[in-house]
């Protein structure tokens, strides 16, 4: 039950715990990272472009509610789920990204391309006013308990302060795609099957099942 948890905007000391949680969850289960044989350092080369640029108000964490006995060994201030957001215009220095991670970055950027040309440009929306839901993860011991849904509800309540015109996410998980599109009413702009994605004449995710769905929501 999500009432056993508190959902709140992040504070500066949370950032290292978010880094640990994202690393633990993605290294264990992300199909793209596994397919390219990404190391922890390689994953960090991507993650560390985002973390210094997080928007602290709209990045949300879930922690066990004070006094709740959700699991032995879990402290009240431990983060069990997180949603990491940042403005879409943050600088990404490709030379700092591990070469094995580059196809993942290329895939995500390709999935954004028609959103930029068909949605941002015609509506004169600058990327600085686009809120990017960059990553989300729930600790494997807490998955399926409504935490991602709780993160999204708290996120929604933090977005109406006039800073953002639109939000965007690249869903590589069918669960996040289902939640954003079907439960929270986001619009699906583009779907790129992993296996057909081509970059520089190669298909880095050939034979990998799944797809990335670019979804957006006007704020």
Q: Which residues bind ligand COA (CB under 6 A)?
A: 25-26, 29, 81, 136-138, 143-149, 171-173, 175-176, 179
Among residues 69, 73, 212, 60, the alpha carbon closest in space to that of 136 is found at 60
Minimal distance, residue 122 CB to ligand COA, in Å: 26
Calculate the alpha carbon distances from 170 to 109, 110, 136 in Å: 9, 10, 11
Residue (29 or 123) nearer to ligand COA, CB = 29
- 111: its two tokens: 């999935």
| Closest CB 23 distance from ligand COA, rounded Å | 11
CA–CA gap between residue 43 and residue 101 (Å, rounded)? 7
* Residue 24 beta carbon to ligand COA: minimum distance, rounded to whole angstroms: 10
Q: Among residues 120 and 171, whose Cβ is nearest to ligand COA?
A: 171
Q: Residue 167 CB, nearest distance to ligand COA (Å)?
A: 14
61, two tokens: 């964490």
For residues 12 and 46, which CB has a smaller minimum distance to ligand COA in the complex? 46
Q: Which of 95, 113, 102 is nearest to 170 (CA)?
A: 113
Least Å distance, CB 211 to ligand COA, is 11
Q: 118 or 183, CB closer to ligand COA?
A: 183
Q: Decide whether 103 or 146 has the Cβ nearer to ligand COA.
A: 146
For residue 18, what are its two tokens? 């978010």
The Cα 75–Cα 70 span in angstroms is: 9
Q: Tell me if 53 sits within 8 A of 87, measured CB to CB.
A: yes
Q: How far is the C-alpha of 81 from the C-alpha of 141, rounded, in Å?
A: 10
């Amino acid at each position: 039950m999500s009432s056993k948890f508190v959902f709140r905007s992040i504070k500066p000391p949370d950032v290292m715990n978010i880094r640990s949680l994202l690393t633990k969850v993605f290294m264990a289960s992300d199909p793209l990272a596994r397919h390219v044989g990404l190391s922890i350092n390689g994953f960090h080369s991507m993650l560390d472009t985002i973390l210094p640029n997080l928007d602290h108000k709209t990045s949300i964490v879930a922690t066990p509610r004070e006094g709740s006995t959700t699991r032995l060994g879990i402290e009240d201030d431990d983060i069990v789920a997180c949603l990491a957001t940042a403005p879409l215009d943050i600088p990404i220095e490709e030379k700092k990204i591990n070469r094995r991670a580059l196809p993942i970055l290329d895939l995500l950027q390709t999935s954004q391309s028609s959103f930029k040309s068909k949605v941002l440009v015609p509506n004169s929306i600058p990327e600085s006013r686009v809120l990017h839901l960059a990553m989300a993860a729930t600790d494997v011991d807490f998955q399926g308990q409504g935490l991602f849904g709780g993160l999204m509800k708290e996120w929604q309540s933090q977005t109406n302060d006039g800073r953002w015109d639109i939000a965007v996410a690249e869903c590589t998980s069918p669960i996040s795609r289902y939640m954003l599109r079907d439960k929270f009413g986001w619009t699906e702009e583009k779907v790129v099957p992993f296996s057909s994605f081509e970059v520089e004449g190669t298909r880095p995710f050939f034979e990998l099942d799944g797809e990335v769905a670019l979804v957006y929501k006007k704020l």
